[in-house]
Amino acid sequence: MGWNQFLKNLVMMIALMVPLVVIQHAKCEEGDNINFHVSSRISVHPGGFVQRSGTNFILNNKHFYFNGFDAYWLMYMASDPSTRSKVTDILQQASTHGLTVARTVAFNDGGNSRALQPSPGSYDENAFKGLDFVISEARKYRVRLILSFVNNWKDFGGKNQYVQWAKQHGQKVNSEDDFYSNPLVKQYYKNHVKAVMTRKNTITGVVYKDDPTIFAWELMNEPRSIENNNAQKIFQSWVTEMAAYVKSIDSIHMLEIGLEGFYGETTPEKKHFNPGSLFFGTDFISNNRLPQIDYATMNLYADRWLPSSTEADQAAFVDKWVEVHFEDAKNVIGKPIVFNEFGLNSRTPGYSVQKRDSYIRKLYNAIYNTSRNGGAAAGGLIWQLFAEGMDGFRDEFLKIWFEKRQYFEPKILIVIGDENYQPKALKYALAKEVIEYEKFLKNGKAATICFGNCFEKWKLDWECKFDRLLLIGTLMGALKHGMWIRKELSVTSTHLKLFQVQSDV
C-alpha cells in the first residue's frame, strides 16, 4: 500500500471510526441489545528491549512510536491487595485502547502511607511487592513502563525527604537543593537506585534491570533547583554522575532525566522560549546532550506556567514551545523526544471539555506530523489516567479515567497501529458517543481498530444482536457496503437474517 493511499485510509478510519468487519450469523430482532463475541489472537508481550538509534526508538529492528499515559499511583494501589485490582483494570483497559507505555513512580519515601522506603536503605516489602505486581501486570498486558527514582516535589517524600534524612544524621544542609551536592544525600540516592534496579521480581522472577517490560529509567520527576549562578553547573554535575551510575548497573535500558524542557545558560538566545523567565537551574540542551542520556523529555502546562496570560498568548507559547523543542531534539541534541506530561487545568477560568479536547488534538497532531516527516518526536504521555472508583485521587489536570461503561471521561481514544505500521499510524481519535465496547486487535500484518461509535451505529441503525463479530482488516469497505444495503435496498432489522462480507485487503 502506498504512503498516500495509507494516509487516505487512515484519515477515513479516524473520521468514520469504523473497522472492516465480517459478520456471521447475525440474528436481528427489534429491541435486542447488542452483544459481541470477538474472535482474536493477542500475542504475549513482544520480546526485546526498546533501544535508541539516532532520533528513533527501535524495537526488534523496527521504529517504535508510542501513545501512553501517566499514572503515579500504580505502586501505591498495588501495595494493598484490597486495591490491587485498580492496577489490573487500568493496564488492561489501556492495552485494549492501544496505549503501550506508562510512566509511574518507583519511590515513596519517608513516613507516607504505604511508603516504599520509610528510612534510608530500609524498604517495606509489601510496597516493593506492589511494584513487582505493577511490572508483572504491565508485562501481561503488553504495556512498557518508565520508572522514576525520586520526586522533585514533596509528594511521596521527594528530594526534601532525602535532605531531611541527611540533616538527621548530622549533615549541614540548608536547602532542598543540597540534594544535588551533599555527598551523603547522593549516596542515599544511589543506594535507592541500586535497590530498585537489582530487585528480583517476586512474581516473574526477573530482575528489574533485565526486564524488557521497563521502557526506561528516569532520574527524577521534574527536577528543579534554585536559580543562581551555580545551580546549572551543580545540576549538570549531578546528572552526569547519576547517569553514569545508572548505566554502570544497567547498560541496556534507556535513561532519561525527567526534565520539563526549560532552556538554560548554554543557549541564552533560547531562554525567551521559556514561560516567563523560568528555567529552574536546568538546561534542556546541555543536560540532554550527555552521552548517558538516551532521549529528551518535555512537559507542557501553559495555563499553569503562564496564569496571567491571555488564551491567545498561551496558545502562541504552546506553538513555539513545541516547535523549538522538536527541532532542537532532532538538530541539536540528536535524540528522540517524548512528551512526558501535558494537560489543561480544569480550574482555569473559561475551561471546558471542548477546549481540553482541542488542546489535546493540537498536541497529538504535532507529535504525529513531526514523526511522520522524520522528526524526533516519538511519543506522548497524557497526564493522567485513573481506574474506576478513584475520584479521590483526581487532580485539576486532564481528568481521564476508565470506567466500565464510560471508558474515557473526555472520550479520547488514542490509537496506534501494529509494529509494521507504527511509524505511519501514530494518531489519535475523539469518540463522540458513550462507548459500549471497543477492541484494539492485531492480526500480524495490519492493525484492526474498532471504535465504539461503529458499534453504536450498528445498534442504532440495525438493532441487532450479533452472535459473532470477527475483525479482520483495516479498511471501511464492509461497513460502507452494509450501510449501502440498508439505504438502497431498505433492509431493516426485521428483514436482515444474514449479512456476510469479505475483506478486500
Q: In which residue are the cell numbers 497524557 written? A: 382
Q: Residue 282: in which H helix or E strand, if any?
A: none
C-alpha cell recorded at residue 355: 477546549
Choosing from 176, 218, 222, 456, which is the catalytic residue? 222
Would residue 222 show up in a list of annotated catalytic residues for this protein?
yes
Longest dimension (CA), the chain: 86
Question: If you write DSSP's letter for every residue of 156-169 in order, what string do you get?
Answer: TSHHHHHHHHHHHT
Choosing from 137, 218, 256, 341, which is the catalytic residue? 341
CA distances from 274 to 271, 301, 321, 327, 481 (A): 5, 12, 8, 15, 52
C-alpha cell recorded at residue 401: 479515567
C-alpha angle 241/245/249, rounded to 5°?
170
Q: Under 8 Å CB-to-CB from 14, ≥6 apart: which residues?
A: 415, 427, 428, 429
Distance CA 220, CA 151 (A): 6
Nearest-Å Rg of the Cα atoms of the chain is: 24
Order of strands, sheet of 62-63, starting from the edge strand that comes earlier in the sequence: 51-53, 56-59, 62-63
Amino acid type, 394: R
Distance CA 452, CA 435 (A): 5
- Three-state SS at 377: strand
**Are the C-beta atoms of residues 401 and 388 closer than 8 Å to each other?**
yes
42, β-bridge pairs: none
Distance CA 342, CA 231 (A): 26
- Three-state SS at 415: strand
- Three-state SS at 378: strand
Amino acid type, 61: N
Would residue 341 show up in a list of annotated catalytic residues for this protein?
yes
Distance CA 35, CA 264 (A): 56
**Are the C-beta atoms of residues 160 and 150 closer than 8 Å to each other?**
no
H helices within 250-338, ranges in order?
284-288, 302-305, 311-328
Distance CA 61, CA 51 (A): 9
Catalytic residues: 222, 341
